[in-house]
Structures are given as structure tokens and as C-alpha cells.
Amino acid sequence: MKNKSLLHRFVDWVNGDVADDRPGNIRTVGSLPEAKPPKEKPEHTDPLRHLNRQIAAYRVSAVLVCVSLMLALTYTVLCLPTYNDPSAPTNNEVSQRYVEQGMEETGAVNTVAGMILDYRAFDTFGESTVLFTATAAVLFITLSKHTKEWTERGPFADSSKDPILQVVGKILLPMIFVYGIYVVLNGHLSPGGGFSGGAVLGGGLILASSMFGQKKMVRVLSANVTTGLSVACLLAYAAMKGYSFFTGANHVGWEIPKGTPGDILSSGFILPLNICVGIIVACTMFSFYSLFSQVEEE
């Protein structure tokens, strides 16, 4: 082999003809499998042992990381501005303006609603998109050709025979829906808003689904309907917020009338936005549930 030219030796190396017994040094492009029969067996078991070792190392390092993180964070927390301190850095001009001028600038009595749907509305748009993305991803995992049959025949298909569920459900269901709708519609006046109310409504839909069974529920709210509703509401959200971002940034004017703070029809876009968000959240929660109970067995 010594008298070969450099190029030839390189070609040999690529072809795996060079004798190289060091473990782990298997250049796969070159190493023709039949050239090294004795290596076949350890090659199959090695990765597993390697993985086991990797898992053990991961354990040990993770314990160390957790302990040090805990110590560091506890120490950090004790150095932070004290709890309940009115002069802490967070109580600055930002929160002051939200509280003091929030009502006239956004028209919302509930400052938190004014903040998340007007001052920092882009975050909230992102958040609704997170929900939408998660639904799409869950749909992605669970969707298959058998989904429809499964809804018809699966363990959640028929209405429950449980008398407790039926009786309690019949009492609770109207109350839950009324409460959820109230929370959504009064988001700018009282605690709550699209997210809270939507979650309540979603919980109500789930209860209804377990009472009446999925076969009936799907006739009203199939996956297509929930997706369509979410898409429509997100588009409406995007249109409204896009309008207000565009006009705000370009200083065009064309403001939306704010109405009298405290009235149900006030505070510009916040009421429709809350309704949109509420529908998105309710649809998402319900479709999580119905998709989860649809995953078919293979």
C-alpha cells in the first residue's frame, strides 16, 4: 500500500479498503458492509448501550442543573424588589398610564381588557394564533381516513346513560352557557373577556358533548364547522386589528368612536374582538376534546 500515490490511497480510504480497526471509526461512505462481517453484531447493540449511557449521563447532569437552578433562583428572588412595594420598578409610568388614561384612550372600564386588546393587541393576536396553530397541529396528528367512523362508533359516540351526569348536566348546562356569554360580552366592563369566557363556553360544549354523545354533537359542531368558525374569527380579528395598527402607525386618524365608558356598546373594537376571541377559544377547547376522543387505534 505504501507505493501507491496519494490520490489512490485517498480513493482506497473512501472505498473503505484501508484497514482500520479502531472502534467507531467506520466511514460509511466507504465501508462496504460485506468487507467487515465481524463488525456487524456489535454495530447493532452498540447504539443501544450508547443510548443507555447517554440517558444515565443526562439524568446526573439534569439533577445537578436542577439543584443549582433552585439555589440560584432562590437567592435571586431574595434580592428582588420586595413584594407589595409601591415604589418597585414595575409600578412606573407604564402601568400608571394604563390605569389613569386607559378609560378615555380605550373606552374600556376593565383595564386589563384595554391593555391586552388595545395597547398590547399584537401580543394577543399572536396568542390567538398560538391556539389556532395548536388546533391545526392536533388535527395534524389525529386526522386520518377513519376519523369519521370512529366518531360514529368510538367510546364517546353515544349519549351517556349515567343519570348523575344527565341530571346535573341539564341543570348546569344553561347556567354555564349564560355565564360564559355574559363574561365574553362584558369583557370590557367586568372581569373576564374573550379568553376566560371562551374557556367557560368551551367547557360547556365539552359537557354537552359528553352528555349527548359525539354522534349528535358532530351534527351541530363538526371539525369543519369549528375550524371554519376559528378561521372566520381570526380573519375578522386580523382585519380589525390590522386596520387599527395601520391607522395608528400612519397617524391617519379615522378613529373608532369609543362611546361612553361603562355602556355595553362602547370601547371601540374591544367588544367585537372579545366576541371573536371568545369564539376562537371555545371552538379550540371543544375541538381539542373532540379530536382527542377521535384518535383511532392502529
Give, as ranges, the residues between 23 and 42 that touch another protein (CB under 8 A).
Answer: 24, 26-33
Helix 270-292 and helix 121-142: axis angle, to 10°? 20
Per CB under 8 A, does 90 bind another protein? Answer: yes
Cβ atoms of 294 and 234 closer than 8 Å: no
How far lies 251's CA from each of 120, 125, 243, 269, in Å? 18, 21, 12, 18
Pick the piece of the chain touching another protein (CB under 8 A) from 63-71, 160-168, 212-220. Answer: 63-71
Per-residue contact track with another protein, 156 to 195, x per CB under 8 A?
---------------------------x-----xxxxx-x
Q: Smallest Cα–Cα separation from 264: which of 93, 75, 71, 110?
A: 110
Per-residue contact track with another protein, 193 to 232, x per CB under 8 A?
x-xxx-xx-xx--x--------------------xx--x-
Per CB under 8 A, does 89 bind another protein? Answer: yes
**Closer residue to another protein (CB): 159 or 247:** 247
Per CB under 8 A, does 288 bind another protein? Answer: yes
Pick the piece of the chain touching another protein (CB under 8 A) from 83-91, 165-173, 214-222. Answer: 83-91
Distance of CA 166 to the CA centre of its chain: 32
Cβ atoms of 131 and 279 closer than 8 Å: no
* C-alpha cell belonging to residue 222: 363538526
**Closer residue to another protein (CB): 55 or 171:** 55
Helix, coil or strand: residue 239: helix
Cβ atoms of 160 and 166 closer than 8 Å: yes
**Closer residue to another protein (CB): 141 or 171:** 141
Per-residue contact track with another protein, 97 to 136, x per CB under 8 A?
xxxxxxx-x---xxxxx-xx-xxxxxxxxxx-xxxxxx-x
Q: Which of 107, 142, 266, 273 binds another protein (CB under 8 A)?
A: 142
Cβ atoms of 106 and 120 closer than 8 Å: no
